[in-house]
Chains A and B, each alone.
Chain A
Amino acid sequence: MSSVLDVVLSSAFLAAVLRVATPYLLAAMGGLVAERAGISNIALEGQMLSAACTGALVAGYSGSVAAGALAGVAVAVLLGLLLAALRLELGADAIIAGIGLNLLASGGTAFAVYTLLDDKGGTSGLRSGTLPAVTLPGIEDIPVVGDVLSGQNTVTWLAFLAAPFVAWLFYRTRFGFHLRAVGEMPDAAASVGIAVRRVQYAGLALSGALAGLAGVFLSMGYVSFFVRDMTAGRGFIALAAVFLGGLRPWGVFLAALGFGAAEALAVQLGTLDVPPQLVSTIPYALTLVALALYAWRRKRRGAAEVAPASL
Chain B
Amino acid sequence: MRSYGPGAAVAVAGMLALAACGGSGSDDSGSASSGKTRIKLVVNGGLGDKSFFDSAYEGLKRAQSKLGYELKVVELGSDRTKWEPGFEDAAAADDYDILAAGTFDVTDYIGELAPQYPDKKFWVFDSAVDYTGKNGCSNKCENVYSVTFKQNEGGYLAGFLAEKLVAEEALKGAESLNKVGVIGGVKIPVIEDFIVGFKAGFKAAGGKNSDVLVQYVGGDKPFGDPAKGKEISTAMYGRGAALVWPVAGLSGLGTFESAAGAGRYTFGVDSDQYQTLTDSAQKDTVVTSILKNVGNALYQAAEDDKKDAVKYGAVESVGLSDDAVGYVDDDHFRELVPDGIRSDLQEAADQVKSGSVTVPSAF
User: Residues on A close to B: CB < 8 A?
Assistant: 12, 16, 19-20, 103-104, 106-108, 110-111, 114-115, 119-122, 124-125, 127, 218, 222-225, 227-230, 232-233, 263-264, 267-268, 270-271, 276-277, 279-280
Query: Chain B residues near A230 (CB, 8 Å)?
Result: 221, 224-227
Across the interface, do B224 and A229 meet the contact criterion of CB distance under 8 Å? yes
Complex: A16 Cα to B234 Cα, angstroms: 9
User: Which one, B4, B214, B228, B232, contacts A107 given CB within 8 A?
Assistant: B4
B187, A228: Cβ atoms closer than 8 Å: no
A102 to chain B, nearest CB (A): 9
Whether A270 contacts B220 by the Cβ 8 Å rule is: no
Q: Name 7 interchain pairs, CB-CB below 8 A, sorted by A.
A: A16-B234, A110-B5, A111-B9, A114-B9, A121-B54, A271-B235, A280-B218
A267–chain B nearest beta-carbon distance, Å: 5
Return A26 CB to nearest CB of chain B, in Å.
14
* B238: nearest chain-A partner, CB-CB: A12
Which residues of chain A have C-beta atoms less than 8 A from B277's C-beta? 124
Q: Are B1 and A106 in contact (CB under 8 A)?
A: yes
Distance between B31 CB and nearest chain A CB, rounded to angstroms: 24
B7 to chain A, nearest CB (A): 9
Smallest distance from the beta carbon of A96 to chain B beta carbons, Å? 14
Q: Are B219 and A225 within 8 A (Cβ)? A: no
Cα distance A222–B48 in the bound complex, in angstroms: 21
Q: Shortest beta-carbon distance, A187 to chain B, in Å?
A: 37
The number of residue pairs between A and B whose CB atoms lie closer than 8 Å in the complex comes to 124
Contacts of A124 in B (CB 8 A): 50, 253, 277-278
Q: Is B68 an interface residue (CB 8 A)?
A: no
Minimum Cβ distance to chain A for residue B169 (Å): 22
Report the minimum CB–CB distance from A280 to chain B (whole Å).
4
When chains A and B are docked, how far (Å) is the Cα of A309 from the Cα of B254? 41
* Given known contacts A111-B5, A227-B250, A230-B224, A121 and B47 CB-to-CB distance under 8 angstroms: yes
> How far, in Å, is B277 (CB) from chain A's closest CB?
8
Question: Which residues of chain A are near B253, meaning CB under 8 Å?
Answer: 122, 124, 223, 225, 227
Q: Which residues of A contact B226 (CB under 8 A)?
A: 223, 225, 227, 230
A222 touches B230 (CB 8 A): yes
The answer for the CA separation of A122 and B4 in the assembled complex, in Å, is: 16
Given contacts A20-B231, A276-B215, 7 further A-B contacts (CB under 8 A): A223-B254, A224-B257, A227-B250, A229-B78, A233-B221, A271-B181, A271-B235
* Closest Cβ–Cβ distance, residue B347 to chain A (whole Å): 31
Cβ–Cβ < 8 Å partners of A263 in chain B: 228
Interface: B247 (CB within 8 A): no
Scan B206-223; emit 1 where CB is below 8 A from any A CB, else 0: 000000011110111100
Contacts of B235 in A (CB 8 A): 12, 16, 267-268, 270-271
Task: Establish whether residues A280 and B216, one from each chain, have CB atoms under 8 Å apart when the complex forms.
Answer: yes
Alpha-carbon distance between A290 and B346 when the two chains are bound, in angstroms:
54
Measured in the bound complex, the distance between the Cα atoms of B218 and A113 in whole Å is 25
Bound together, the chains give a CA A225 to CA B1 distance in angstroms of 22
Per-residue 0/1 for B160-197: is the Cβ within 8 Å of any A Cβ (1 yes, 0 no)? 00000000000000000000010000010000000000
Q: How far is the CA of A57 from the CA of B349 in the complex (A)?
A: 43
Q: A104-B1, A232-B219, A271-B236 are in contact. Are A223 and B46 (CB under 8 A)?
A: no
Residues of B within 8 A of A119 (CB): 48
The verdict on B306 contacting chain A, using a C-beta distance below 8 Å, is no
Shortest CB distance B306–A (Å): 29
In the complex, residue of chain B having the shortest beta-carbon distance to the beta carbon of A23 = B227
Given contacts A227-B224, A280-B216, contact A271 B46 (CB under 8 A): no
Q: Quick one: closest A residue to B233, CB to CB? A: A267
**B108 interface hit (Cβ, 8 Å):** no
Inter-chain contacts of A222 with B (CB < 8 A):
227, 230
Q: Which residues of chain A are near B5, meaning CB under 8 Å? A: 107-108, 110-111, 114
Q: Is the CB of B215 within 8 A of A271?
A: yes
CA distance A222 to B230 in the complex (A): 8
Does B49 lie at the interface of the complex (its beta carbon under 8 Å from any beta carbon of A)? yes
Q: Are A270 and B48 in contact (CB under 8 A)?
A: no
Q: Which residues of B contact A115 (CB under 8 A)?
A: 9
Bound-state Cα–Cα, A119 to B215, Å: 28
Closest to B216 in A: A276
Provided the pairs A107-B2, A110-B2, A225-B253 are in contact, do residues A120 and B219 lie with their beta carbons within 8 angstroms?
Answer: no
Shortest beta-carbon contacts, A-B, top 4: A121-B48, A120-B48, A111-B5, A280-B218
| B279, CB-defined interface residue at 8 Å | yes
- A72 to B: closest C-beta gap in Å: 15
Residue of A nearest to B184 (CB): A276
Closest residue to B218 on the A side, CB-wise? A280
- Would B231 and A19 count as touching, CB distance under 8 A? yes
Task: Output the least CB separation between B323 and chain A (Å).
Answer: 26
